[in-house]
Amino acid sequence: MPLTRKSLSLTIRQRLHLAVALLGLVWVGNTIVLAHSYLRTANALDDIRMVEQSIGNIFESSLFVRDYLAGYDDRAMLQWREAHRRLGQNLDRFRLSPLETEGERLIGRRLIDNHVILGSLFDRLVAGHRSGGRGSDEAEKLIEQSLLMRASIMIADAYKLSAINNAVIARERQTFVLMLVGAVVVSALVGLFIMAVNRRILSSLGILRQASERIGGQDFVTPITLAGGDEFTELARAMNAMSAEVARFYGELRESEERYLLLFERSPQPMWVYDEHSLKFLAVNHRAIEHYGFTHDEFDAMTLQDIRPAEDVPALLRTVFSAERGESVGEWRHRIKNGAIIDVAIHSVPIAYGGHHARIVLIQDITERKRAEADLAEGARLLEAQARQLKSANEELGQFVSVASHDLRGPLRMVTSYMKLLEQHLGDGLDDEGREFMGFARDGAKRMDRLILDLLEYSRIGHTIEESQSVDLAEIAAQAVADLHFVIAEAQGRVDIADLPRVFGHPNELGRLFHNLVGNALKYRSADHAPVVKIAAARNGRDWIVSVADNGIGIAPEYFEKIFGMFQRLHGHGQYEGTGIGLANCKKIIEHHDGRIWVDSRPGEGSTFFFTLPAGQDAAL
């Protein structure tokens, strides 16, 4: 792409980033250079201090040599060795802190070598004196001259090293001044650049502020003109596009308001517009005038407070003046012109209307619905009261049955006991007819006791304190079959249990259900073959259908409903035992589990009893 003035122009953000980056680079570079200069200056100062200390040590050792030669005093010898040791410590620092230039390193090595030579010469001087040999005076003179000469050389080298470090310090000071001046100059240039950017920002903001005021005055025609290619130019283009869009929107809004007013007037429901601050009616439609009975002029002189019952006005004011601007839905009471109070549902939306912050409201009269709801609530209350009364009556009935069964079984046991005593008392004096009568009486008392127990069991169904729980029907059925083991063995029969599901229910009641159905299948068996009972289950939508099928004597179709009633027997007491309550118990148990029970049978071929149980969350085979 060819380079143009526009493509090379920088945005405000880019200009500021460039200025900050340039200033940062300058200061980072200055910091690095100054840090290096500081380290070199510090090293030079350390070297100068070491040189000065070394020169002092050399002068001391020279004086101690003369003192030693003057009297060969051991004290002077020890002082020279101490001065020589301190000199060696100072020179050791040159090894730890390497010198920068080759000249400095050469001088440092000479100083260290001469230090070693000084030590050797002094040791020879001391050794020669102690040996006391001939010619020792001349040797001492030579050694003394060598010592002084080496010391002079070391002093000269030390001064050279000091001069080199002083030159380094002077050079680094000059570098520091130059870098500081450069940093100040660059900072000043960056400051001027930022001031120019700031002028651009302020001038652009002034132009944009004037444009915003024009737009606020609904002048959407005059364009905003800003030269350049920065963010303000892009913002000016965006504001020009926004002005064009707002101008188009205003045109569409005017058309929409015209259509809206047409719908407002023709609405089948009362509608009005009111001012959010004064609550005065600004417009009402024809349906509102008809429904409320006020004329158009009367509405013009009224506010929302005038159509509210006096006791509702505080709540109205709290709602209106505390609610946020937005869509609002609620139910209120309104007063129409004849003084009647009606219930209404309102739906209001904020709009701009004739320069007012207003709301347009749609009203629906729900007085009849409220009355119907009140009637339903009263009906529900009465039903709840009746349900409580029925529950209380059932509880009282259960208590009555329990007490009555206990009170009735007592006399029966007494009759049975006295019949037995009477039979024993009469002994052989009782003829066959009398014995038959006595048997009838005992059998009647026994059946009466069984009937009382069955009634007690029937009354207890549905009133158990046992919690409904997840139960395995296969285990329940197997337990019922186990309880009937001797009856099955006596009949030489068989009970087959297929896969049964888990359901939610009351284990004891479901156990009595299987016990009654399997017991009936064994009781009403055919004389031609051994009884076979099959228990199975199948899923049907939300329910499980459980079947208990047998190959017994069967039931005629006209008795399919009758057998589930109380005391309904299809056979005499001489044929089959029972009270006629067993299947009534089964029906009540199934109804307590929100299910139903029915039978399908053919006389002579057997019967199949079906019942449903709701499938729970874990009701799966």
Over residues 483-492, the pLDDT tens digits come to: 888 888 888 8
- For 351-392, write each residue's pLDDT tens digit: 888 788 888 899 999 998 888 888 888 888 888 888 777 666
10-199 has CATH 1.20.120.1730 classification? yes
Does position 445 have pLDDT exceeding 80, yes or no? no
With CA atoms as reference, report the closest residue to 232 among 52, 26, 439, 15: 15
Would you list the domain boundaries of the chain? 10-199, 267-365, 375-460, 466-614
Taking residue 456's Cβ as centre, other Cβ atoms within 10 Å add up to 17
Longest dimension (CA), the chain: 178
Q: If you compute the radius of gyration of the chain from its CA atoms, what whole number of angstroms results?
A: 60
Please report the pLDDT score of residue 135 as a whole number: 45
> Could you tell me the two tokens for 602?
């053919």
Looking at the predicted structure, is the pLDDT value of residue 447 above 70?
A: no
**Whether the Cβ atoms of residue 359 and residue 351 lie closer than 8 Å to each other:** yes
Q: What is the pLDDT of residues 240-280, one digit of tens each?
A: 777 777 777 777 777 766 666 677 888 889 999 999 889 99
Which range has highest mean pLDDT (75-89, 321-335, 554-568)?
75-89
pLDDT at 83: 83
pLDDT tens, position by position, 460-483: 566 555 667 888 999 989 988 888
Ranges 148-162, 220-234, 375-389, 573-587: which has the least confidence: 573-587
Q: How many CA atoms lie less than 13 Å away from 394 in the CB half-sphere?
A: 13
Q: Give the whole-angstrom CA distance, residue 412 versus residue 417.
A: 9
List Cβ neighbours of 550 (8 Å cut-off, separation of 6 or more): 521, 524, 525, 531, 532, 533, 534, 606, 607, 608
Rounded alpha-carbon distances, angstroms, from residue 94 to 40, 43, 81, 116, 439: 15, 11, 21, 15, 137
Superfamily of domain 267-365: PAS domain (3.30.450.20)
**Residue 91 pLDDT > 50, yes or no?**
yes
Q: 288-300 burial, b for 16+ CB within 10 Å, e for fewer? A: bbebbebeeeebe
- Residue 599 pairs with which residues in a beta bridge? 609
Give 27-84 as a DSSP string: HHHHHHHHHHHHHHHHHHHHHHHHHHHHHHHHHHHHHHHHHHHHH--HHHHHHHHHHH
The Cα 483–Cα 499 span in angstroms is 20
SS3 label, residue 506: coil
pLDDT, residue 620, reads 44
What pLDDT does residue 87 have?
A: 83
Average pLDDT over residues 113-119: 84
Q: 3-class DSSP state for residue 4?
A: coil
- Phi-psi domain of 541 (left: phi exceeds 0; alpha: psi -120 through 50; beta: other): left
Q: Report how far residue 50's alpha carbon sits from residue 44's, in angstroms, rounded to the nearest whole number.
A: 10
Q: Is the pLDDT of residue 1 over 90?
A: no
Q: Is a pLDDT exceeding 80 seen at residue 7?
A: no
For residue 284, how many other CB atoms are within 10 A of its CB? 24
pLDDT(412) > 70: no
Return the closest-CA partner of residue 183 out of 38, 37, 25, 41. 25
- CB < 8 Å & 24+ apart, contacts of 572-576: 573/447, 576/523, 576/524
According to CATH, what is the number of the domain 466-614? 3.30.565.10
Q: Does position 299 have pLDDT exceeding 80, yes or no?
A: yes
The pLDDT value given to residue 475: 92
3 compared with 125, residue with greater pLDDT: 125
Q: What's the mean pLDDT when you consider all of the chain?
A: 78
Residues 599-621: pLDDT tens digits? 898 888 889 999 999 876 444 44
Residue closest to 405 by CA, chosen among 464, 441, 458, 462: 458
Give the per-residue pLDDT at 448.
61
Q: How confident is the model at residue 408 (pLDDT cuts 50, 70, 90)?
A: low
CATH code given to domain 375-460: 1.10.287
Q: What is the model's pLDDT at position 549?
A: 92
Give the N- to C-terminal CA distance of the chain in Å, as an integer: 75
pLDDT of the residue at 392 = 67
